[in-house]
Amino acid sequence: MMRVNRRTFLNQGMTITIGLFVALWNKITLNQIKLGKQRKHIFPFDKNKSITFIDDFIIINRDNQTQVFRAHCTHLGCKINQATTDKLVCPCHGSEYDLNGQVLKGPAYKNLNIMKSSISEDGSQIEIEA
């Protein structure tokens, strides 16, 4: 039977720890790179509709201005899919946001994420960067 001395044991332990750290670091940084890539999403646009839930986005159209928010609640990420005339409501734990994406009622405490968007020249499509 082979005996492992203390030094060898520590060296192997250190090697395994460093290997795990490097693997974890790679995973984290690769995720960051993926997050850094922006994708463009194009959807039909109806300027007469004040609130549109589409895919992972909420399009708010009022006073001739259009704002797009990510539809995921900032509390635990549920998809917001309900609205009244003046607020957006998360179905999971009841957080509410005004139509500017500002938190009105928790448990969420961060405002909705605003997405970059542009409307096509003919006004029929909206392009969202996400």
> Contact positions toward ligand FES, by CB under 6 A?
73, 75-76, 78, 90, 92-95, 107-108
Find the shortest distance in angstroms from Cβ 23 to ligand FES.
31
CB closer to ligand FES out of 92 and 119: 92
CB closer to ligand FES out of 62 and 93: 93
Token pair 């409307």: residue: 119
Based on its alpha-carbon atoms, the radius of gyration of the chain, rounded to whole angstroms, reads 23
Find the shortest distance in angstroms from Cβ 70 to ligand FES.
12
Find the shortest distance in angstroms from Cβ 113 to ligand FES.
13
Query: Which burial class, exposed, middle or buried, applies to 61 when counting CB atoms under 10 A from its CB (0-12, 13-18, 19+)?
Result: buried
Token pair 């895919």: residue: 55
CB closer to ligand FES out of 29 and 81: 81
Q: What residues contact 67, with CB distance under 8 A and at least 6 apart?
A: 59, 60, 99, 100, 101, 114, 117
Find the shortest distance in angstroms from Cβ 118 to ligand FES.
28
CB closer to ligand FES out of 46 and 55: 55
